Structure 1
């Protein structure tokens, strides 16, 4: 059997960095176990309903803050009225290590303090249209982790949902960080490549995407 060819770290645009194979298989399995626990509650995983009546094909569970289009709350009023699971300290440390791996800036990594994660599960038919992550008050980078089936990830520009964009494949264990000039890039997932997951990652089918963000919100905001 031929050895796998290492995939290089790649900066697709200033601040948009792909780090292939960043998570070990043990780390992937641990994250899958954590996501499965969150998926059962206190606010369970669900298909998010959009204001226009449409329903997202991905299923989402939130940690730290609950996201619903297009705001964050502590309590999931659109699901079951419960407060979402707390954002664990180990995820803060994971986010800081991810930022260091992508940017090589120890000072910026030490200051990075994510307080929410959106966990999206894609089955073989799920897609995610081009969009910006702009519901946060903070412009701190977004840390994105992929586990399970490979997907086609579309990296666009900050002005429009259309071209120019670049399609790359995100494989189980890959890290993608976008911040700085690329913090508000349009991005999406036009396709998931079913059957590409290594069962050793803890997920036999489908794709998990964990995105850590800094909301910039406070407990006072949560009481409003």
Structure 2
């Protein structure tokens, strides 16, 4: 079903919504700074263009991605890894914009994780039909730090499960400006994104942008 969102405005932030121990939704938390975030996204992908990575199993991801910060996450037939340079250009990843780092720090603190200092931000672009299968974020050296995930553009169904692949995930509707944070006992929770539905966002058109902040080193 096509979603007509031309009248959409970011929801006002109210209070954390508990998903699991150590995991919360901060609905509308990024709404007040969305214009700055989107401008920064455009600058990053101009320097490090979005690309569809190939997994070690040979699958081409439907989500297009880039990175900024000291480290960037990448994938190929040889495995998943963090690198200090963009494999396409051989140049360092673009620096993390100040508005990115500030939002990530504030969101982590709001969720109960103080002094979060991410060194990697994954920028994922979803177009209708794109999805992300259930997985754990476990390529980072510091698993004591949380994951901070920001949603911009079209709404998405976020799947958040337990620490076992067989745990049935709960479905959460994420809209423009929502932020999810998980760490502590939920740090290795399986999570993913259901296929993105057709729609039109007033600022981003037929796409969703996700910013995922991590402490990788």
- Compute the TM-score of the two structures, normalised by the length of structure 1: 0.83
In structure 2, the CA distance between the partners of 1:214 and 1:116, relative to structure 1 (3 Å rule), is same
- Name stretches of at least 5 consecutive residues in structure 2 with no aligned partner: 1-10
Which of 36, 42, 55 in structure 2 is aligned with 1:36? 42
> In the aligned structure 1, how far is the partner of 2:175 from the partner of 2:141?
30
Alignment partner, residue 121 of structure 2: 117
1:151 aligns with 2:151: no
Aligned length, in residue pairs: 201
Shift of 1:112: 1.1
> In the aligned structure 2, how far is the partner of 1:155 from the partner of 1:170?
12
Alignment partner, residue 94 of structure 2: 85
1:190 aligns with 2:199: no
1:12 aligns with 2:19: yes
Deviations 1:35-70 (A, max 9, x none): 1121122x3210011122211000001001121131
- Compute the TM-score of the two structures, normalised by the length of structure 2: 0.86
Shift of 1:5: 10
Shift of 1:183: 0.5
1:49 aligns with 2:70: no
In structure 2, the CA distance between the partners of 1:164 and 1:83, relative to structure 1 (3 Å rule), is same
Alignment partner, residue 98 of structure 1: 107
The residue correspondences of 1:144-183 to structure 2 (distance < 5 A) are 144-160=149-165, 162-183=166-187
> In the aligned structure 2, how far is the partner of 1:66 from the partner of 1:6?
30
- Name stretches of at least 5 consecutive residues in structure 1 with no aligned partner: 218-224
User: Which structure shows the bigger proportion of residues in helix conformation?
Assistant: 1
SS in 2 for 1:191: coil
1:63 aligns with 2:64: no
